[in-house]
Structure 1
Amino acid sequence: MPDDSPTGPLMSPTAQPPAVPPPMAQPRRDRQGTAILLMCVTALMFAGQDGISRHLGSTYSPVFITMLRYWFFTVFAVALCLRAPGGLRAAMRSKRPVVQFFRGMLLALEIVVTIECFVRLGLINTHAIFACYPLIISVLSGPVLGEKVGWRRWLAVAVGFCGILVVLQPGRDVFTPEAALPFLAAAMFAAYGLLTRLAGREDSAMTSFFWTAVWGAVCMTVLGLRTWEPIAPQDIPWLLILCVCAGCAHFMLIKAYELAEASALQPFSYTQLVWISIFGVVIFGETLAPHVAIGGAIVVGAGMFTWWRSRVRERAARR
C-alpha cells in the first residue's frame, strides 16, 4: 500500500494494509528470497483473518467488528509513525486532507461490505470476484489520474470481466443480486487505490498510512458505537487473534517491502487465494464449484497481465 498501496494482485480485502509505507530507506541488497517468504506468510495470515471475520460476522455486525479492528490498527499506526523519521508530527502533516479523509472512510466501508460478503456468499465466491479490483483500477486510472491505458490492458480488462460473468453465471438460478456485493467491494477498494496514488503525489506514504488509520477509526466509531453489543466469552479470543494477527501481518508486509521491490512481490500475494479455498472448503464447508474456479482463474490471469504490462511500462520509462 511504489505508492503506498499495492494495486496489483490480490491482498485480503478485510486486512489489506490501508497504506503500507515503503521502506524508510532503500535496502543495500535485495534479499528477495526472504521477502517472498514473508509475503507468502502474510498472505496466509490475511486469509486466516478473513476466515475469522467470516466466523464473527455471522454473529456480530460487520460494522462492530470493523470498529474494533480499527481501534487496534490506529494504535499500531501511531506506534509505527513514532518510529519513522520526523515522528508523529511529520506523519500528521498532509497537503491533501480531503483526499486522505475520503481514502480512510472508503476503505473502512469497503471492509464492512466485504465481511458482509463473506457471511452471505462465503470466502471463495467473494475472493473470486474481488480479485478484479486491479482491472477496475486500470479502467479508472485514465480519467482519474491521467494515465495512458493501452489496448492490451483494455483487452485484459475485458477478459477479466468475462471471468466475473463466468463466476456469477447471470441468467441462471445461482445468480442473485447479492452476488454483486463483492464487485461493489472491489470497486470501492479500486477507488481507494486511486485516491492513494493521488494523495501520494504530495503526501508521504507514512502520512497516508497514519490518516487512513485515523479517519477509518473515526468513521467506524461514529457508525459502530450504536451497534455495540456484549461479546460472548468464547468470541473474545477470536477478536484478539484477529487484531494481533492484523498487526503482525502488516508488519511482515512492510518488512517484505523493505527487502525487495513491491512489483517483484505482488504475484505471491495470490497465494492467499489458495489458502482461502482450503479454509472455505475444510473449515466452512464451502464448495469450490468448477465455474467459480475457472472464472476466478480468468480474473487472476487478467490481473497478472495488467501487472506485467505496468512493469514493462515502468522499465521502458527508466530507459
Structure 2
Amino acid sequence: MTEMQSKTDQAKTAAQLTKASETPYPEVARPKLGIVLCLLSMLIFASQDGITKVLVKDLPVAQLVMVRYWLFLVFALAYAACQGSVRASFRSRHPWLQITRALIGVGEIALFAIGLRFLGLAEMHALYAVFPLMTLALAGALLGEFIGLRRWIAAAIGFSGTLIILRPGAGVFELAALIPLASALGFAIFNVLTRRISQDDAFATNMFYMAGFGALAVTFVGLPGWVTPTPMQGLLMGILASTGVIAQLLLIQALRYATAATLQPFNYTLLVFASLIGLMVFGELPDTWTLVGAALVIVGGLYAIKAKG
C-alpha cells in the first residue's frame, strides 16, 4: 500500500500500488473505467489527508499511523490468504530489505502527517509531488537503471518547480517546508527498494512485510502515548483507516482495466483534489508561486513518464 499508503495513505501508497501491481490481469481492457477508478482513489487519498490534518491537532501522529497500520495488517493478511497461504507470504529472498522498506514506509507516512500540522494541503502535495523525480534519480544511482537526457531534463524541470515553491533566499522560506521534501525522499527510497525486492518477492509478500513490521514498529511508539479520542475523533479515525483500504482496492481494480503507464499521469490529480479540499474545508488559498511551481513539478513528472531516453 501507498501507500497506508497510503497512503494507507498514503498519496504516497497510490504510486506504490501502481508500481507493485503491474502483473497483467485477465480482464477486458477498459481504460476509461480504470481511469475513473484511479481518480476516485485519488479523491479518497486527498480526503484522508484532510481528515489527518484535522486529527493531528489534538492526537499524536504515531497513534493515527498505528490505527491505520492495524487495519492495513488485517487487509494484508486477508490478501495473502486469498492468494493461497499466509505462511508462504512470509518467505522472502530479501527479509532485511523488506524490514528496512517497512520502517521507511512508516516514517514517511508519519513525516507527512507531521507536515500537515504546519503546512496547507496544496503546499504539502506540491512539494511531495516531486517524489517520482527523486525515484528516477535514485533508481539510476542505486539500481543502475538507464535515465537518459530527456528524463534528466524532466527532473530539472520538476526540481526547478520545487525551488519556486520554496523560494530560498526570498525571505518566505519555512523550515517546515523541508518536511514534505523529507517525506518525498523517504517515499522515493521506498519505491526504489520496492523495485529491487519485487524482482524476487511476490506482491503478497511485499504487503505482508510492510503491514506486519510497520504495524509492529509504530505500535511500540503509538501505544504508550495513546490519547483517548472523542466519539467524533474515533469516528474520523475509523474512516481514515477504512477508506485507506477502500482506496487501495479501487486502485488495484483500476489496474485490472488499464495499464500502470496509462494511470500514472492521473496520480497527479491527487494534488488537484488536495488543493480543492484545502480551499473549501480549511480556507487555504495557495499563492501564485505555489501554483506555478506545482505546475512545473507536474510537467516534469509527466514528461519523465513519456520520455524514453
Superposition TM-score tier, normalisation by shorter sequence: over 0.9
Unmatched tracts of structure 2, length 5 or more? none
Cα separation, 2, equivalents of 1:147 and 1:264: 21
**Secondary structure, aligned partner of 1:202:** coil
Tell me the equivalent position of 2:297.
299
Cα separation, 2, equivalents of 1:142 and 1:41: 32
Cα separation, 1, equivalents of 2:301 and 2:224: 39
Cα separation, 2, equivalents of 1:138 and 1:24: 21
Tell me the equivalent position of 1:47.
46
Structure 2: which amino acid aligns with 1:251?
L
Tell me the equivalent position of 1:317.
none
Q: 1:19: Cα distance to partner?
A: 5.0
Cα separation, 1, equivalents of 2:184 and 2:12: 14
Tell me the equivalent position of 1:16.
13
Unmatched tracts of structure 1, length 5 or more? 314-319
Are the counterparts in 1 of residues 127 and 294 from structure 2 also a CA contact under 8 Å? yes
Note closer, same or farther for the CA distance 1:285–1:58 as it changes in structure 2 (3 Å cut): same
Q: TM-score, normalised by structure 1?
A: 0.90
Tell me the equivalent position of 2:183.
185
Cα shift readout 1:244-282 (whole Å, capped 9, x = no counterpart): 111111111111112221111111122222211111011
**Secondary structure, aligned partner of 2:98:** helix
Q: 1:28: Cα distance to partner?
A: 4.0
Q: Counterparts of 1:59-74 in structure 2 under 5 Å?
A: 59-74=58-73
Tell me the equivalent position of 2:107.
109
Tell me the equivalent position of 1:238.
236
**Secondary structure, aligned partner of 2:13:** coil
Note closer, same or farther for the CA distance 1:46–1:75 as it changes in structure 2 (3 Å cut): same
Note closer, same or farther for the CA distance 1:46–1:254 as it changes in structure 2 (3 Å cut): same
Tell me the equivalent position of 2:226.
228
Cα separation, 1, equivalents of 2:145 and 2:14: 24
Are the counterparts in 1 of residues 8 and 68 from structure 2 also a CA contact under 8 Å? no
**Secondary structure, aligned partner of 2:223:** helix
Structure 1: which amino acid aligns with 2:33?
T
Note closer, same or farther for the CA distance 1:13–1:294 as it changes in structure 2 (3 Å cut): farther
Structure 2: which amino acid aligns with 1:57?
V
Q: 1:27: Cα distance to partner?
A: 2.1
Structure 2: which amino acid aligns with 1:53?
T
Q: 1:29: Cα distance to partner?
A: 2.0
Are the counterparts in 2 of residues 93 and 207 from structure 1 also a CA contact under 8 Å? yes
**Secondary structure, aligned partner of 1:127:** helix
Are the counterparts in 2 of residues 39 and 268 from structure 1 also a CA contact under 8 Å? yes
Are the counterparts in 2 of residues 15 and 246 from structure 1 also a CA contact under 8 Å? no
Are the counterparts in 2 of residues 117 and 126 from structure 1 also a CA contact under 8 Å? yes
Are the counterparts in 2 of residues 280 and 286 from structure 1 also a CA contact under 8 Å? yes
Are the counterparts in 2 of residues 137 and 190 from structure 1 also a CA contact under 8 Å? yes
Are the counterparts in 2 of residues 12 and 43 from structure 1 also a CA contact under 8 Å? no
Cα shift readout 1:46-95 (whole Å, capped 9, x = no counterpart): 110010011101111111110111001101111111111x3212222111
Q: 1:173: Cα distance to partner?
A: 2.7
2:255 aligns with one of 254, 257, 260: 257
Are the counterparts in 2 of residues 26 and 258 from structure 1 also a CA contact under 8 Å? yes
Cα separation, 2, equivalents of 1:304 and 1:221: 37
Cα separation, 2, equivalents of 1:306 and 1:15: 18
% identity of equivalent residues: 34
Are the counterparts in 2 of residues 160 and 302 from structure 1 also a CA contact under 8 Å? yes
Q: 1:138: Cα distance to partner?
A: 1.2
Are the counterparts in 2 of residues 128 and 296 from structure 1 also a CA contact under 8 Å? yes
Structure 1 residue runs of 4 or more that deviate by more than 6 Å after TM superposition: none
**Secondary structure, aligned partner of 1:99:** helix
Tell me the equivalent position of 1:93.
91
Cα separation, 2, equivalents of 1:266 and 1:26: 17
Note closer, same or farther for the CA distance 1:18–1:206 as it changes in structure 2 (3 Å cut): farther
Aligned residues: 304
Are the counterparts in 1 of residues 108 and 186 from structure 2 also a CA contact under 8 Å? yes
